[in-house]
Amino acid sequence: MVACERSHCFPRRSPAYPLLVRSDQAVRLLARLVGTSAVLSALILCATPATSLAYTQILATGYNGYGESNVSSWRYIVEVSAGSLHTVGLKADGTVRATGYNGDGQCNVSAWRNIKQVSAGYSHTVGLRRDGTVAATGDNAFGQCDVSTWRNIKQVAGGGAHTVGLKSDGTAVATGRHFEKQCAVDAWTHITQVDADNYHTVGLESSGTVVAVGDGTYGQCSVSGWRGILQVDAGADYTVGLESTGTAAAVGDARYDRCNLSGWRNIKQVAAGGSHTVGLKSGGTVVAVGSNNTGQCNVSAWRGIQQVAAGPERTLGMKKPQVYLSRPWTYPASIGHGRGFYIYGFLRPYHSGSTRIYFYRLTTRRWRGRVYRGWRLVGRRYAPNYWHKGNTLYRLPCALAYAGYYRVRAYHSDAGHYPTWSTMRTLHVE
């Protein structure tokens, strides 16, 4: 029996007409009606080929003078990176998308394949291949794209006019502009993450300490006293670090109040831009401080975010993958009260477990002499999920005891995906 959601719903159990028959009773009713093998065959015949990937939605706010924030149509993105006037997105299949200013060829990434990480510099783009080699395109005035000989790289970072690579042995390499000594990383060891901005480079050590080289005019390289750091990000003349306590630290040029992070809590990622700083909270919400001259800090309404990136005057947010839920179908199409039938549909990508099905009934109520008609939630059930051709087939055997009009819809939510509702299916029970 489906448990009621509210006290004014139909009772859980009625001696004569329970709203929903138990699943095992529904299976027996349905098997007597058409035969179990016929039911399963019909469900399988309704299967349609589909991708097993969940799509993501990319949000952007702030400056969009060259189309660098035109990312709302991107799908199947697993990482985003913000350059000065261009944006780069890594797709789940290892290809790359880019949008924005392309005067130096920084968006010429359509031919890239087998990429596992991307980083957008000021006017160049760097991509790490799955085999540990590196690709680069865009402005190469200082040799920042001379990375073809690099090997055994596990992370890359594009700066203003230089590129940094983290090797699998914990050392680092760099190429490009070196006037401010931002490429002096040869002596680094035990590094787990690197990041670069215009004139300085930051490295996170395995012990949770931080090293930095390059221009330190504003104190952006004064990180030797940091401890318990989980992630670093280099901004325009300042550096931000994520602490193991979920708080954040910042040093360097404090203009625009962009280093005022003392009130941040439950942070799991930080991103340093040109004049603002962004923090991703553990609940998927986002906070931002600093200049808001182009709306780059308008992120308070964002929900379900799993990664953020900050450009000079814009902010990007990648939402958790969106699961596709088909509208529920029924078999057989004609439903009689008290007779067994299936509610089924598809969930993409594949998920084990179950999908929640909600039931609504069109009811009439009288209140103060007036008649009201509306849809009332009358129960919910869990439909087991089944593997089918790379997708999930959810299927629920049930029976409705009352004649009338019903609506059903499916719901899915887990830690790795944004909560999703299917569209409604209206049923006429005779």
Per-residue pLDDT tens over the stretch 29-45: 444 444 444 444 444 34
pLDDT in tens, 363-383: 988 888 888 889 999 989 998
Residue 415 clears pLDDT 70, i.e. is over it:
no
- CA distance linking residue 308 with residue 293, whole number of Å: 19
Residue 2 clears pLDDT 60, i.e. is over it:
no
User: What are the angstrom distances between the C-alpha of 24 and each of 5, 232, 393?
Assistant: 22, 55, 19
DSSP 320-352: PPBPEEPPPEEESSSB-TT-EEEEEEEEES---
Q: How many CA atoms lie within 13 A of 56 on its CB side?
A: 24
Task: Please answer whether residues 191 and 231 qualify as being in contact, where contact means their C-beta atoms are separated by less than 8 angstroms.
Answer: no
Taking the whole predicted model, whether its pTM rises above 0.85 is answered as no
More confident residue, 285 or 332: 285
The confidence score (pLDDT) of residue 11 equals 29
CATH of 23-51+324-429, one of 3.20.20.70, 2.60.40.10, 2.40.50.840, 3.10.290.10: 2.60.40.10
Over range 308-334, report the average pLDDT.
87
Q: Does the bond joining 332 to the residue before it have cis omega, within 30 degrees of 0?
A: yes
Please tell me whether residue 91 adopts helix, strand or coil conformation. strand
- CA distance linking residue 340 with residue 63, whole number of Å: 57
Buried b (16+ CB within 10 A) or exposed e, 330-346: bbbeebeebbbbbbbbb
In CATH terms, the fold of domain 58-319 is: Methylamine Dehydrogenase; Chain H (2.130.10)
- For residue 162, the one-letter residue type is H
Please tell me whether residue 248 adopts helix, strand or coil conformation. strand
- CA distance linking residue 426 with residue 410, whole number of Å: 13
Residue-range domain boundaries for the chain: 23-51+324-429, 58-319
Which residue, 214, 180, 209, 178, is CA-closest to 192?
Answer: 209
pLDDT confidence bin for 20, thresholds 50/70/90: low
Task: Please answer whether residues 195 and 222 qualify as being in contact, where contact means their C-beta atoms are separated by less than 8 angstroms.
Answer: no
The β-bridge relationship of strands 248-252 and 238-243 is antiparallel
